[in-house]
Structure 1
Amino acid sequence: MSNEAATVRVSLAERSYDIQIGEGLLDQAVEFVTSRGGARHVVVITDANVDELYGDALADRFVDAGVESHVLVVEAGEPSKSTDVVADLWQTMLDEGCDRQTVVIAVGGGVVGDIAGFVAATFARGLRFFQVPTTLLAQVDSSVGGKTGVNLEGAKNMVGAFWQPDGVLIDTAVLKTLPEEEFCAGLAEVVKYGVILDAEFFAYLEANADAIMDRDPAALRTIIQRSCRLKADVVEADEREETGLRAKLNYGHTFGHALEAATGYSELLHGEAVAIGMACASRLAQSMGRIDAEATDRQVKLLERFELPTAIPEGIDLGELSALMWRDKKVKDGEVRFVLPTRIGEVETVASPGDDLVLASMRTS
């Protein structure tokens, strides 16, 4: 496979942008940003883990190119997705003299991207921003599509905005430093794309699981490029979740978000919660006669091959999880809506299948 960067175009009229994917692309970050509208002042938002690896070095590249640069660092982890952290960032940006011409660059995982995007969407009524995702999960999912936001207590991503980036720069080389559990968590979203949209891609993941787990560069580029293309197709058709098509991307998330809330956003990585959620959703679909046992088994086996959990951890009250689902953004007209598979490669939204079936789907025995 060629080492040249691949480009996935997200076509959204005047909000269209490119996702560039390849090895060593951080070296081209200044050109990537400045060629898309210019930049005289950039604010790099990153977290304490990524700052030393990539955040500070990226800001230095802009300084060397004559672009004023500031680095703002948040604590790593989901608890940083809070209104308090965002308020601190707003105030710091004001103190540093940021204005309507400032460009925000998110360097980090999904938490950083969500926070930085929300800050960009709201400071001075909207700043241009770029995504430089450094985790697999962010590269294949959260950096693409323009969803930004923060959590409220017991409700994930409840405050936010749709704010598309001006570009997404994905350097696959950064995955070499990604801890194993973070890498595996990202694979949950990759598996999701196969289940909801592309049976051939799901089969590719099954056939190439060893190469993927070994972080083979060609395999990584393939799964990232395909995941981004699949998500871009959905975003292009339903940017703001108005037709219901984009809801497909929430497969496993109704269960997963409730799990994250029940564990205080600290015990499970997002991808781990989604993996458990997909297993629950598939069991729910199976109990309703929507899919057969083989489809559930294939998902569970692939998730477990990628070293992801598929069962709800012991000690979690299933009734509490069920109650937390009613606080999800996908509740509509007084009904909890679940994205459920009809086969590998296709899903549909189902309203309130019944508490007994939902509770049963969360049990593995």
Structure 2
Amino acid sequence: MRLFLPLLLIAAAPVPPVREGVATLAADSEARWVPFDLTPGNQIRFTLTLDARPVTAILDTGVSYSVLASKSAAADPARITADGQATAIGGGGNGAVAVGWLPTRRLVIGGLTRSGGGVTVADLPALATGSAQAVDMLIGRDVTGGHALDIDYANHRFRLLPSGRLPFVGAIAPLTISAGRRVYESSATIAGKRLSPMIVDTGDGSALTLSAASAASAGIAKLPTTTTISFGLAGETVSTLAILPAVAIGQQQIRNVETRVEPPAGFSETIGVAGRVGSGLLQSYRVLLDPGAGRMVLKPGPDADAPPLRSTSGLLVGLTRDRLKVLHVMRGGPAAAAGWRAGETICRINDAPVTADYPTSALAKWAIGTPGTVVRLGLCDGTVRTLTLRQFY
């Protein structure tokens, strides 16, 4: 089970369209695939060119205006002006993040070139991707929204196409860009209830997130639940976690969906949406996002029916160099019963040392191991504890 990280950032005040620049597609844009990898936080990470400089970025359709990290080498402090605040996930559900504004000359992603405009500037900590190194940018709706976005998760590549193109056949769901929030939005049907709008957020590594009110109508209270933690640009948020037996996104029926429930008055309620569909769900499909044509297309991949990975340890950890820091102890899990606390550090697992490549190594699978397995966890103070894994939600 990954520690998923939502990055959604919505401008708090209207921004004149002229500041978005002019985006055009090359005649051969269909052939210009952009390779990507998935971060440990389950987000699409790739490289683009900004003012002749290569920068790393996350493709984030839940961001209304693309964000450049204030610590990026591409962020020239002399050219950044204060630009107020934006609303972001975190800090107990939602929060305000100070942003600046940096005019740009030319941004290139695959076959798309944007001339003029600019980007907002904010702090983008490494924790936002779940890896040791921060990215330079979040690429949002202002760059991609005028075109069709074809995401081939199975082959780790995406491309930008003219709106109206239909490069593959799949289940259709509605898709728009909201006038006020300026992000990609669709709907979901759970327990016969249509929930709308649902933000389609490729920058959110979780599968499905619901507001407290939406969760109540979906019958979450009848299911076994636990707690989990996630990190947005405004800080950390603790949510309820459950597995929904069935969800429909347009014509696509999806079984056993890991679902997070925000606390009352959380981010979704603050901005007036029912919740979010994240990359944790989308990555099991080939996805076409074409708001200009009013549609999202989902074509199931080979793992579309695979059950979600469940924690059997009840520990959610983050990597800090050569050690794991306990970020959250899940309610009702084995770790909670054994008295684990947030902030404790682990240096060895079954006598194997924690190393920098831990997030992508086989060692990381211990936390979702077979129920009944006994795991030896070596704390960094030299003590050793055992933890017996079990299913608890």
Q: Same fold (TM over 0.5)?
A: no
Counting helix residues as a fraction of each chain, which structure ranks higher? 1
Greater relative contact order (Cα 8 A, min sep 6): structure 1 or 2? 2
TM-score, scaled to structure 2: 0.29
TM-score, scaled to structure 1: 0.31
